[in-house]
Chains A and B, each alone.
Chain A
Amino acid sequence: MSKPETIDTKPVAAKRLPGPGRAAVSLTVLAPLMWLPQAGLAAHAIGLLADGAPVSAVLPLAAGFTLFGLLRAALDAVSGRLAFKAARAELSARRAAALTSLSARSPVDITRPSSGEAASALAEQSEMLTPWLSRYVPAKAKAMIVPFVVAAATLPFSWIAALALLITAPVIPLFMALVGMKAQKASEKQLARMSDVNSYLMDRLRGLRTIRTLGAVDATAKRLRHEAEDLKRRTMAVLRIAFLTSATLELFSALGVALTAVYIGFHLLGFIDIGTWGTKLSLSQGLFVLMIAPSFFEPLRELSAVWHDRAAGEAALKSLEKMTERGTDLPQGAGAFVNPLEDAVQVDNLTYTHPGRETPVLEGFNLTVKAGERIAISAPSGAGKSTLLSLLAGLATQDVGQVLLFGTSAADARDAGSIAWVGQNAHIFSGSMAANVALGRADAPVADALHVARLEAVAETHGKAPLGEGGRGLSGGEVVRLAIARAAANPWARLIIADEPTAHLDAATAELVTESLLELAKDRTLIVATHDAALLACMDRVVTLIAAPENAT
């Protein structure tokens, strides 16, 4: 089984977070305190009944009891809403910040998070931020204040009852810490294990085709069951300990109520005289002390219920913060105009070193391409072909030298839509074939583009159905042609850059791709990196890069 991810339990950055706001927190704390007047009114009413007071004397007390109860419900509702809104806004803000820095990074940057990492950090993981901020933080504030107020309210009637509560107060966290340390580990372990079984299920479902073809469905199902039951056995061993935390709290709150009741009962009978301030408690006073005793423990119980929100929330925050780290940025355009009369490409003394590497992949490179020329770049792998194309396309910034496209920077040419890109692994977006060509460009001539890429028949076959993830259901040739169609959907492109468009294709498909690439490049400038002899033969000129010695393979 994979190693459970270790969760750093250091409290991260909680201070840097705007909490749910002072107002929300004060209302949260105020809400449970409404029980004090409620209990007082109810206890007083029972006292009046015992004294034989008329029904009319109870009426205002009953109304007050209800009103304070409704006030408490309203305070809870309002503070809950405020806390939620603040927490949710924080989540959106953090997501937006992560997206901004993700999309500012160059696709060439190898330290950029993978799409899977980014997706789980921004989607499901970051979801845990809201419960942490909206529930855990207020619950903690409640647990720190409410018990002391309850104890203080008990004190005027019985110092012994208040003392009993206050003695348990530090005892409870101590007990909880002892059991809780084990419980924390246990629940983390259990989470990791549970996700193990889930990832086992998902792993097997991902390879379902293989399992089916090997006739192993039954065996895998049984094995899955076995794994899950094994997990159950191991988990229960630790859960038994974990539940002791809540049992401790339960015990204290139950015993707190029971002992208070017994003490007050004996006191009222006159068997115990100590613990009050000299006078005997009245029935109402005794009842009041009893009724508020459970609310001493309630906030602690609430806090322990949302305890796990903290670890998950902190993990969410960490992964979101990782997404906002910066690496190699995309070059920014300066808004300069392209000049179609200038050379298509003018590269002077270009040097580029990959971040983290010592030796440059390109050094002192020069190249001039006239508008309308079709040139091939040929080089052994590792000689910097793809890097050169990326620099020309404005995907990264050179360290030294100058790159001019139609008299302006690569980034400006890119922003002006003057460059069209036919990459090696076109990403297939969720959507239909037509949507994958248009990519949301409202005025894109999709039909023409499909025609240039010889994709009309394929597009018709797939219809409006969304394409499979990662191009499942499309052949390698079709993916390349889709990239050509994407390029063709940009009528303003003056320069076509293509990276090994015919690699890994059969002869017939390669010919088709070459044909449509040449049609796309009509009246435009074409730069294509390739080894393919047939494609090379169609070019006006071949530029050969020599591998830098340490990159040669």
Chain B
Amino acid sequence: MKALRTVLRLFLAEKRLMLALAFTLAALTGLAGVALLSLSGWFITATALAGLSSATALAFDVFAPSAGIRFLALFRTAGRYGERVISHDATLAVLAGMRELLFRSFARSRAARALERNPARLLFRLTLDVDALDGLYLRLIVPVGVALISALTALLALSFIDGATGIATGLFLIIGGFGVALMAAMRAEKQARLRAAALEALRSRVIDLVSGATDLLMAGRLGERRADVLAADSRLAEADDRLNRVETFAGFALAALAPMAGGILLVALAILVSRGTIGAPGAAFALLLVLAAAEPFTALKRVAVEAGRILAAAKRIAPQVEAEDDVVPPAPPPSDLAIRLENVTARHPGAARASLTAASLSIKQGETVALIGPSGAGKSTLLALIAHEIALDAGRLESLDASLLTQRAELFADTLAGNLRLAKPDATEDELWHVLTMAGLAETARALPDGLATWLGEGGAGLSGGERRRLSLARLLLHDAPILLLDEPTEALDQKTASDIMERLEAIKGQKTLLIATHAAREALIAERVFILVNGQFAGDYRRGDEGFDAAIATLRDA
């Protein structure tokens, strides 16, 4: 329930007035439908009785009720249309706000790291959850409210005829209808959770089967893995089946409400008529009123299943929304230093072993430093720490603002300019061309059909690997952080592009502090200082000209 409240807060952060208005219209429209049918029933019965003699027939006021009937018919149509327009308008606005809030929640370090590690799975899960939550208002709140209001109306209206009958019928609808719906929603929630898990398993197993086909085939496990996918589908089918059973049962119980209420009410009305409390027109009015008021309850079977899905999604999303950022940006170091570490111990989240232990170093502003060491020595951990992506376990870290160029050059579905302006939203076109020139991409950009306005697909589709790397370098140069952290900046680039990029990095030497984690001599060669990291500790710190410097560079791959 707490989860639902969190999500509800997320949902109802704004546009409450619009949502309330839409809700009122929805309720009024529902009532108009109820009134239309019951008034018509009364009218026919009353006219039939009046029509028995021509005197009463002529005295019968036909115009007020028939005008009322026509008015209700038109009002119902107009109301329904207005309600839909207003509620969709408000809902879309709310969904826009919700997406912004969700993005901000997921941009906090803890969630961001989890996403970084398992993007496909988590984004898929998030897509499902967001889709479920989108329906909170239109598919849950509105139908429940409409059912409640029409039952209450039946209760009130009948109470005028006979108090006990009205209350009994109203309560029967409310308790029976919502009781069934609530039970179904609770059972559906568990199945919705199982279903989401099974769908996720199915998806990731298909990916494993297709991407890992060679590995599986050579291990003689392809057939078993295919069976695993089918097993996931069986689990999914089972959850689907249970959900359908819940829906079917709820549907049966809810559909039984109207005939049961109607049958008993008929007898009660017969008694009331025989006592002379009401006439036949009143009985027709009451019967049709209750039958129409029970109508919205049949829609609750889908609502109940939907509620289970929404609840399950809320439970998964709420912790992310509430989680606090666990990394504090580091304080700046004293005097002319850019980075200072004292006895720092840190690990990658989830790792059992620390990848940096009691490491100390200081780097001056404007220095260009290469960070070398075998894979797994802790280079990436150190960069992530300075970029304040992860928190330290022990020790002290001080650093100026730093931005990180990762091996996966992340570009977005946006224009070329939009991708660059991520680093500096108010950058002028001149500034953009300047950094593009510095990164060696200006000519390519000029040759593009729309220049800076060229649309780049997801992940920078439309550019080659080298061009993508250059673009993210240009973006990094546009960012005003005094420290650039580069994680193997030319990895997997051909020699020509790589040396060109290194030349361009060399050109900004001294203007910014550069820390380059590398395995390649071509990347380390622009440095004037080299740190050697082995097993999470610094095993060497040499400056250009030292004997150790050349020896350290010599251990690197020369490609």
List of B residues within 8 angstroms of A91 by Cβ: 237
User: A246-B80, A268-B51 known; A469 and B118 CB under 8 Å?
Assistant: yes
Q: Tell me if A157 is interfacial: C-beta within 8 Å of chain B.
A: no
Judge whether A217 and B107 touch: CB under 8 Å: yes
Residue in A closest to B198 when the chains form the complex, CB atoms: A123
Most buried by A among B119, B128, B387: B119
Judge whether B410 and A206 touch: CB under 8 Å: yes
Judge whether B70 and A224 touch: CB under 8 Å: no
Q: Tell me if A185 is interfacial: C-beta within 8 Å of chain B.
A: no
Q: Tell me if A13 is interfacial: C-beta within 8 Å of chain B.
A: no
Q: Tell me if B331 is interfacial: C-beta within 8 Å of chain A.
A: no
Judge whether B84 and A243 touch: CB under 8 Å: yes
Q: Tell me if A522 is interfacial: C-beta within 8 Å of chain B.
A: no
List of A residues within 8 angstroms of B219 by Cβ: 439, 441, 486, 489-490
Complex Cα distance A124/B126, Å?
A: 13
Chain B, interface size category, equals 35 or more
Residue in B closest to A203 when the chains form the complex, CB atoms: B413
Judge whether A283 and B49 touch: CB under 8 Å: yes
Judge whether A103 and B93 touch: CB under 8 Å: no
Q: Tell me if A70 is interfacial: C-beta within 8 Å of chain B.
A: yes
User: A115-B210, A225-B100, A270-B57 known; A205 and B123 CB under 8 Å?
Assistant: yes
Partner of A68, one of B103, B259, B284: B259
CB distance from B333 to the nearest CB of A (A): 19
User: A92-B237, A264-B44, A283-B45 known; A63 and B214 CB under 8 Å?
Assistant: no
Partner of A203, one of B57, B247, B412, B520: B412
Judge whether A46 and B425 touch: CB under 8 Å: no
Complex Cα distance A223/B40, Å?
A: 53
Contact with A along B383-408 (1 / 0, CB 8 A): 00001010000000000011110100
Judge whether A244 and B374 touch: CB under 8 Å: no
List of B residues within 8 angstroms of A489 by Cβ: 219
Judge whether A69 and B258 touch: CB under 8 Å: yes
Judge whether A59 and B118 touch: CB under 8 Å: no
CB distance from B425 to the nearest CB of A (A): 5
Q: Tell me if B449 is interfacial: C-beta within 8 Å of chain A.
A: no
Judge whether B255 and A478 touch: CB under 8 Å: no
Judge whether B422 and A214 touch: CB under 8 Å: yes
Judge whether A99 and B209 touch: CB under 8 Å: yes
Number of A-B residue pairs, CB cutoff 8 Å, is 459
Q: Tell me if B338 is interfacial: C-beta within 8 Å of chain A.
A: no
The dominant DSSP class at the B interface is helix
User: A66-B259, A209-B406 known; A239 and B85 CB under 8 Å?
Assistant: yes
A-side interface residues, number (CB < 8 Å): 158
Judge whether B260 and A66 touch: CB under 8 Å: yes
List of B residues within 8 angstroms of A22 by Cβ: none
User: A92-B233, A220-B103 known; A441 and B221 CB under 8 Å?
Assistant: yes
Residue in A closest to B244 when the chains form the complex, CB atoms: A84
Residue in B closest to A206 when the chains form the complex, CB atoms: B119
List of A residues within 8 angstroms of B403 by Cβ: 213-215
Judge whether A124 and B348 touch: CB under 8 Å: no
Judge whether A65 and B99 touch: CB under 8 Å: no
Q: Tell me if A55 is interfacial: C-beta within 8 Å of chain B.
A: yes
List of A residues within 8 angstroms of B65 by Cβ: 265
Complex Cα distance A426/B50, Å?
A: 88
List of B residues within 8 angstroms of A209 by Cβ: 112, 116, 389, 404, 406, 410
Q: Tell me if A357 is interfacial: C-beta within 8 Å of chain B.
A: no
CB distance from A43 to the nearest CB of B (A): 9
Partner of B47, one of A212, A224, A265, A439: A265
If A50-B48, A211-B107, A221-B104 are given as contacts, then 8 extra A-B residue pairs at C-beta distance below 8 Å, sorted by A number, are A61-B266, A127-B199, A213-B389, A247-B77, A261-B66, A430-B208, A458-B376, A468-B117
17 pairs, CB–CB < 8 Å, chain A vs chain B:
A70-B259, A95-B233, A96-B230, A115-B207, A213-B403, A214-B403, A220-B107, A232-B93, A258-B36, A258-B69, A266-B66, A287-B284, A395-B217, A430-B208, A441-B219, A505-B557, A508-B555
